């Protein structure tokens, strides 16, 4: 049987807003089957927000699909807000949403930063997680940040030159600090060019083959500001967790069924990170997609993720 691609587009049957700690208000939605197996989709970034196509990884005849935009991201308000925006707060928000929707346990699906948050949430509340589907693993170790800020130059020298070129040469020894300072500036004339440069850099490096559509989406003002500001915020604060905590705490979730999907040529979150996670967690299924980079929307990644959601119907 041929591997199936995404399910057809669907619309939510319910949307809402959840007031959490001021000033944050979260957008959430439900689609698929109201009495189906609950699954939570966690978007990347942090700050990228969710999109309609993210509903399509799940069979709507089987799954109750829950999607929300995390603090400061997408349709949540205020956009790009860093006040009270920590990993612990995002975990608490997930629990508030679960309780608001009356869900006992759910599958958790996350890619890139979504994989980070999925692991952190599952380790904090393992009793609430039925299974995990993780893609493009990111653990925010210093080696991963160094790669994102400087190492990608080895593979995407043109994209990196534009990214570094936004910063005066004298400040390029610490690109994270230089970008963080500009992204937090209240003046749009300062923060928007920096946000576009950061976000376009990530978009340009996210696919195996050039994708002008991906780069254009990452360059849109709202997407760029949420993504760049919150990524810089979380990177600077090392995702508010001790070094290597997500691997060291694997024992808390070892018995939860899990699938790890990783693009062989992922230049945003290199495969060594997924391999390190699997070494610590051999019980998890680990699939390297041979013809893909980072983006969840690349054909091989899409098919592998849909296959995972289909396989976990039996869990």
Catalytic residue ranges: 112, 266, 294
Cα distances (angstroms) measured from residue 181 to each of 39, 153, 220: 37, 22, 21
User: Which residues 6+ apart lie within 8 Å of 32 measured at CB?
Assistant: 10, 13, 55, 58, 59, 60, 61, 62, 63, 64, 65
Query: How many CB atoms lie under 10 A from the CB of residue 175?
Result: 20
Distance CA 153, CA 68 (A): 33
How far separated are the first and last CA of the chain, in Å rounded? Answer: 22
For residue 35, give the 3-state DSSP assignment.
coil
For residue 263, give the 3-state DSSP assignment.
strand
For residue 34, give the 3-state DSSP assignment.
coil
Residues 13 and 34: beta-carbon distance below 8 Å: yes
Q: Maximum distance among all alpha carbons in the chain?
A: 58
Distance CA 70, CA 116 (A): 13
Distance CA 152, CA 202 (A): 10
For residue 162, give the 3-state DSSP assignment.
helix
Taking alpha carbons only, the member of 222, 284, 228 closest to residue 256 is 284
Asked if omega into 23 is within 30° of 0 (cis), the reply is yes
**Burial label, 292 (beta-carbon count in 10 A; 0-12, 13-18, 19+):** buried
């Amino acid at each position: 049987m041929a591997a199936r691609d995404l399910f057809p587009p669907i619309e939510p049957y319910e949307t809402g807003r959840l007031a959490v700690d001021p000033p944050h208000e979260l957008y959430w939605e439900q689609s698929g089957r109201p009495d189906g197996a609950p699954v939570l989709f966690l978007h990347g970034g942090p700050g990228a927000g969710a999109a309609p196509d993210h509903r399509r990884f799940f069979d709507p005849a089987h799954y109750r699909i829950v999607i929300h935009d995390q603090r400061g991201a997408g349709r949540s308000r205020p956009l790009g807000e860093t006040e009270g925006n920590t990993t612990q707060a995002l975990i608490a928000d997930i629990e508030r949403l679960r309780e608001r929707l009356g869900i006992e346990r759910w599958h958790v699906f996350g890619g890139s930063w979504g994989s980070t948050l999925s692991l952190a949430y599952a380790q904090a509340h393992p009793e609430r997680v039925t299974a995990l589907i993780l893609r493009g693993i990111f653990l925010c170790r210093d080696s991963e940040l160094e790669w994102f800020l400087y190492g990608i130059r080895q593979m995407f020298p043109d994209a990196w030159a534009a990214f570094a070129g936004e910063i005066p040469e004298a400040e390029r020894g610490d690109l994270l600090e230089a970008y963080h300072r500009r992204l937090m500036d209240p003046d749009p004339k300062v923060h928007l060019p920096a946000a576009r440069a950061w976000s376009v850099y990530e978009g340009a490096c996210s696919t195996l083959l050039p994708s002008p559509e991906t780069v254009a989406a990452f360059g849109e003002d709202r997407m760029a500001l949420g993504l760049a500001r919150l990524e810089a915020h979380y990177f600077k604060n090392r995702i508010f967790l001790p070094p290597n905590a997500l691997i060291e705490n694997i024992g808390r979730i070892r018995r939860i069924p899990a699938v790890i999907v990783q693009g062989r040529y992922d230049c945003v979150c290199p495969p060594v990170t997924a391999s390190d996670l699997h070494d610590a967690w051999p019980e998890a299924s680990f699939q390297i997609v041979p013809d893909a980079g980072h983006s969840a929307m690349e054909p091989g990644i899409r098919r592998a993720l849909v296959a995972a959601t289909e396989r976990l119907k039996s869990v």
